[in-house]
Amino acid sequence: MAVGSNTVYEKGSGYPDTLLTTPSRSVRQYGRMPKKRQVLSFLLAISGCLAADRTDSELKSLFAAHDWFQLRDAVERSADVPAFYRGAVACAFNNVDDAERYFRTVIEAPGEVQQAVEAHGLLAHAYMRSGRYRQTYAHLAAMHRLMPEVSGLKSSLALFSALSHYQELSAKTRRLSDVRMSDDFFIPVAVNGKPAKYGFDSGMDISFISEAGANRLGLPVHEVTASTLLDGASGNHVPVRFIVVDRLTAGGMELRHVVFLVIRNDVMPFVELPPDKQGIFGIPVLVAFGTMRWSSDHVLQIGKHSEGRDAQHPNMCFQGVTPVLEGMFRTQPINVWLDTGNGKTYLTQRFAQQFPGAAGADAKEAFVWLRGLGGSTEVRVITVPEIKFSVGGSDLVMRPAQVLPKDERVDRDWYDVWLGMDLLGQTREVSLDFKSLTFSLK
């Protein structure tokens, strides 16, 4: 969901302490008073315990660093690649059928328990981002059978077991249509026939709605007593509740069986939003849209026929449930986390470590607040006058640029840049194609 440029939201897993988390902290510039908002993230993390000494060291290193674009290129260069890495690349680039085929040999191999757990976890991510929760649950259950001691797995199993009893997300109707969004990028929709305006957040692993929004729809709220969400900012646990929307329409798109997690009315962003703006679409709905293109005049086009995977070399993939873009800083490749729920773009410690000279002599210290459901934390950041990088065929300028500190509780350092709506607003048009996995800016 797009918001004002002074606010940014941090999302990431509680890895390795839990599988089911909502760290979601809104981060705002110290001393400013921007419009407040908070977005929840729901990230499934796996054990991360790849132990295959016989594998090629380059592939192992790229996998451990989550460098999916470089891993893809390395796999394509060699004919003799272990099935695990082929499956990992297929998962990252949403070729789920291929991933299932490659991982089958890994899962069935005797004595390869750790790799089998990794394979099931990657597949669980792949099905989760498309709203196919029965398959998500099946792979989590397989993980539990192989390695029941994985922290937080029982909580995840409880939720996805509950969701597996409902029909899965599907697109019943798909027609090309233009939809005019509000100034704050909320999309006009009809939810079970009732008009509303919902935001969209590519950094959220599942869609969310407030208690008031759920009550407005008159739908039963289901509570999963054995499952909680962990707020990474405060360390507090939040009970998991959900609703299932039978029919959701946006322009010429009609989606069926859309799951929303339900959160309290008194948390951001819902506490400051009107009754008809009490929902946020997460990545499963955006993937179901297939294509999204919005312009600087706030017109959103959805339902466009995709050119297909062979039309262009993909410059977008998934780290778990998170869309990642292939970018460039100077002459070096970088990983860019696409998060339309962020109002502000940040650099990470991974960027700082890869480009230690980028800050220069003009770097200064500043402070930001990390704010979550249960509290807030002030942290020190490094401010640089200007950083320019390219992504989606365009150059983007951070002026100034801020580098967030390292935090072991969250996964932002798997990326170099955390791309928010402030820099996307520098362009005339943003295009996302979740079929061909291409991203472009004009």
| Neighbour tally for 335: CB within 10 Å | 23
Q: Which residue has the tokens 């539990």?
A: 144
Are 232 and 356 in a shared domain?
A: no
Inside any domain, residue 25: no
Are 174 and 283 in a shared domain?
A: yes
Radius of gyration for the chain, computed over Cα atoms and rounded to the nearest angstrom = 21
Give the pLDDT confidence score for residue 312 in this predicted structure: 60
Are 314 and 430 in a shared domain?
A: yes
pLDDT in tens, 118-175: 999 999 999 999 999 999 999 999 999 999 887 778 888 999 999 999 999 999 998 9
- Does residue 35 have a pLDDT over 80? no
Are 295 and 352 in a shared domain?
A: no
Under the phi-then-psi rule, with left for phi > 0, alpha for psi from -120 to 50, and beta for the rest, what region is 335? Answer: beta
Inside any domain, residue 154: no
* Total count of domains within the chain: 3
Give the pLDDT confidence score for residue 267 in this predicted structure: 75
Give the pLDDT confidence score for residue 237 in this predicted structure: 67
Are 261 and 197 in a shared domain?
A: yes
Are 425 and 347 in a shared domain?
A: yes
Give residue 217's pLDDT band: very low, low, confident or very high (50, 70, 90): very high
**Mean pLDDT value of segment 369-395:** 79
Residue where a domain terminates, one of 250, 274, 302: 302
pLDDT in tens, 164-213: 999 999 999 989 999 999 999 999 999 999 999 999 999 888 999 999 99
Which helix (H) or strand (E) is 308 found in, with range?
A: none
Give the pLDDT confidence score for residue 307 in this predicted structure: 66
Inside any domain, residue 46: no
Give the pLDDT confidence score for residue 409 in this predicted structure: 65
Please, what sign has the CA dihedral across residues 427, 205, 94, 306? negative
**Mean pLDDT value of segment 313-319:** 94
pLDDT in tens, 322-366: 999 999 999 999 999 999 988 889 999 999 999 988 877 678 888
Are 235 and 253 in a shared domain?
A: yes
Give the pLDDT confidence score for residue 369 in this predicted structure: 73
Inside any domain, residue 127: yes
Which amino acid, residue 98?
D
Report how far apart the first and last C-alpha atoms of the chain are (Å, whole number): 20
Give the Cα separation of 122 and 48 in Å (integer): 10
Give the Cα separation of 306 and 330 in Å (integer): 31
Inside any domain, residue 210: yes
Give residue 15's pLDDT band: very low, low, confident or very high (50, 70, 90): very low
Are 276 and 180 in a shared domain?
A: yes
Are 244 and 333 in a shared domain?
A: no
Domain that holds residue 62: 57-149
Give the Cα separation of 336 and 347 in Å (integer): 9
Residue where a domain terminates, one of 117, 149, 181: 149
* Burial call 191-226: b when 16+ CB within 10 Å, e when fewer: beeeebbbbbbbbbbbbbbbbbbbbbbebeebebee
Are 76 and 179 in a shared domain?
A: no
Give the Cα separation of 290 and 287 in Å (integer): 5
